[in-house]
Amino acid sequence: MDERSVTRTLDTLLYLNEMTVRLYDDAAARVSDDVSKHLAEYRDDHQRHAERLREIARKKGRQPEEPAEDTKALASGNAQLVRNATGEDAVMEALLVAARTNAALYETAEGLDLGHDALEIIAEQHADERRHVEYITQHAPQYASVASGPQPGGKEAISCLTGGLTDDRSPDDFE
C-alpha cells in the first residue's frame, strides 16, 4: 500500500473512532443501565483510540486530514441507524454494523507498514473492537449471524475507504 493509502487509512480510523464516541453516547441513552455501562466503557476505548491515532500522526510529522466524503457518509449512516433504531435490540444491531466496519478497517490497518510501535497500537485497538463486537453479539444473539457473516459492504467497501479500490461502476449498477 502506498504512503497516501496508509495516511488515508489512519485518518479514516481516527475519524471513525471520533464518530463512534458519539454513537456510543447516543446509544447509551437508549438502552438498559447494564448495557449502558458497557457502552460507556467502549466509548472511552474509542476516545483513547482517537488520541493514540493522533499521536501516530504527530510522530509521522503530520496533521490528520479531513476525511473523504465516503467516510463521512459511512459515519453519518451509522449515526442514522442508531438514531432511527426503536428498542434496545435495534440499537444494538445498529452498533454492530459500526463495530464490524471498524473491525474490518483495523484488519486492513494491521497489514500496513507503520513501524512496530504503531502496529502494536493498531493491534491493541483491533482487539478492543473485537471485544465490542463480541459483547454486542452476546447481548443480542439474534444478530450473531450478522457479526460472523460477511461485513455489510465487505472488503470492497473497506478498500474503497482506504483508497485501495478503483470503483468504476455506474449508479445504474446499484439499482
Tens digits of residue pLDDT in 17-59: 999 999 999 999 999 999 999 999 999 999 999 999 999 999 8
Residues 137 and 96: beta-carbon distance below 8 Å: yes
Residue 175, in any domain of the structure: no
The CATH code of the domain that includes 129 is 1.20.1260.10
Q: Is 60 exposed, middle or buried (0-12, 13-18, 19+ CB in 10 A)?
A: middle
pTM of the predicted model as reported, rounded to 2 decimal places: 0.78
**What is the Cα–Cα distance from 168 to 159, expressed in whole angstroms?**
14
Residue 105, in any domain of the structure: yes
pLDDT of residue 132: 95
Tell me the residue range of the domain where 39 lies. 3-165
Residue 46, in any domain of the structure: yes
Residue 5 or 135, more confident: 135
End-to-end CA distance of the chain: give it in Å, rounded.
Answer: 32
Residue 68, in any domain of the structure: yes
Residue 104, in any domain of the structure: yes
pLDDT tens-digit series, residues 59-102:
888 899 988 899 999 999 999 999 999 888 889 989 999 999 99
How many distinct structural domains can be found in the chain?
A: 1
Cell of 72: 463521512
**What is the Cα–Cα distance from 100 to 132, expressed in whole angstroms?**
9
Cell of 74: 459511512
Among 88-92, 150-154, 157-161, which is the least confidently predicted range? 150-154
Residues 102 and 16: beta-carbon distance below 8 Å: yes
Residue 170, in any domain of the structure: no
| Residues in the chain, overall count | 175
pLDDT of residue 27: 94
